[in-house]
Amino acid sequence: MDQLIKKGIRQLGLGFLDLLAPNTCVVCQKPAGRQNAYPLCAECKANLLGKSYASLSGFSFCKLCGKALISEQELCLRCRKSIYCFDSIKPLFRYDGEIRDVILVYKMGSRRSLAAFLAGLVHEEWLRNFDGRPLLPIPPRPKKLKRKGWDQVEDMSRILEKKYKVPVLRILKRFDGTEQKALGYEARQSNIKGKFYLRSNMQIPENPVLFDDVFTTGATLSECARVLKAASALKVDAICLAAD
Ligand SMILES: [Zn+2]
Ligand SMILES: [Zn+2]
C-alpha cells in the first residue's frame, strides 16, 4: 500500500482492522450505529460516562491518586503505603467495567479509533484540572513499540495535540527493560529505576502533567516525576485513563 495512505491512516489513529471490522460495540457486541466515529453504542457509552470519577457524587477521593474512597480517609490504602515523586494523579475512571473493556480492546490495536473517544475524555479532564499545562506522554519501551508498531498513549496524544490544541511535550525518553506488567509492586519499583531520561534539546517545563493509560502501582509515573524534578520541574501531576 502506498506509504502516504499508510501514514494518513496512522495519523488518524485508525487501524486496518478498525476499518474492516463491523461496527459492533466493543462492550456489548451489539451494533454501535454509524453516527459515532468509534465502536461504542449509546447505551454503553452512557453507562461508562456515568461511572467516571468526575460524575460521581457522594464520594470522597484519595488526595493523591484520585480514587474514590470507601472507608478510608484522605488517602487510599495504596497511597498510604507508597512514596511517590509526583504531586497528584487524576484517573478518569476506576479500572473496571465498560472502561476496562474499552481500554483492553483499544490497547490490543484492533479498534484504534477508540483513541478519539478516549482523547476527548482526557481533554475534558485536562481542562478541568490542568488547563494550560503541558502534557507529557509516558513513552513505551522501544522494543515494545517496534514489535507493536504503534503506541496507545501516543495515538491519544496526537489527537489531543491536533484536535484539542493541548500542548504535548515528548520530552521523556525510555530505555528498554523488563515489562512492568509481569512484576509485583516491589519489583516494579526497582525495575523502573533509571529507565527514563529527558531529551537534551528541550526545556524542562515547570509544572508538567504526565499522561499514561492505566495507573497500577504508580512506579512508572513516580520515576518519570523523579527525573523531571531532578532536572528542575517544580510540580508534576498526572492524568491517566483509569486506576485499578
Ligand atoms: Zn454497547
Ligand atoms: Zn490513592
Residue 11 confidence (pLDDT) above 70: no
CA 75 to ligand 2 center in whole angstroms? 5
Average pLDDT over residues 23-32: 88
- CA 136-115-191 angle, to 5 degrees, is 45
What is the largest distance, in Å, between two alpha-carbon atoms of the chain?
57
pLDDT of residue 36: 72
C-beta separation of 239 from 92 below 8 A = yes
CA 58 to ligand 2 center in whole angstroms? 17
CA 5 to ligand 1 center in whole angstroms? 31
Q: Give the span between the Cα atoms of 155 and 174, in whole angstroms.
A: 17
Neighbours of 74 (CB within 10 A): 12
Nearest ligand, CA 244 = 2
CA 31 to ligand 1 center in whole angstroms? 8
Q: Which helix (H) or strand (E) holds 47?
A: helix 42-50
Residue with cell 488518524: 12
β-pair type (196-198, 135-137): unpaired
CA 96 to ligand 2 center in whole angstroms? 16
CA 77 to ligand 2 center in whole angstroms? 7
CA 45 to ligand 1 center in whole angstroms? 7
C-beta separation of 239 from 122 below 8 A = yes
Nearest to 40 by CA among 109, 113, 91: 113
C-beta separation of 110 from 148 below 8 A = no
CA 98 to ligand 1 center in whole angstroms? 9
Q: Pick the most confident of 19-28, 105-114, 211-220.
A: 211-220
Residue 13 confidence (pLDDT) above 50: no
CA 48 to ligand 1 center in whole angstroms? 10
Nearest to 70 by CA among 81, 60, 80, 82: 60
Nearest ligand, CA 62 = 2
Q: Give the span between the Cα atoms of 181 and 140, in whole angstroms.
A: 12
Residue 5 confidence (pLDDT) above 60: no
Nearest ligand, CA 27 = 1
C-beta separation of 87 from 237 below 8 A = yes
The predicted-structure confidence for 127-162, as pLDDT tens digits, reads as follows 999 999 999 999 999 999 999 999 999 999 999 999
Q: Give the span between the Cα atoms of 167 and 12, in whole angstroms.
A: 18
Q: Which residues contact 41 (CB under 8 A, 6 or more apart)?
A: 25, 27, 28, 30, 31, 32, 33
How is residue 132 written as a grid cell? 494550560
Nearest ligand, CA 36 = 1
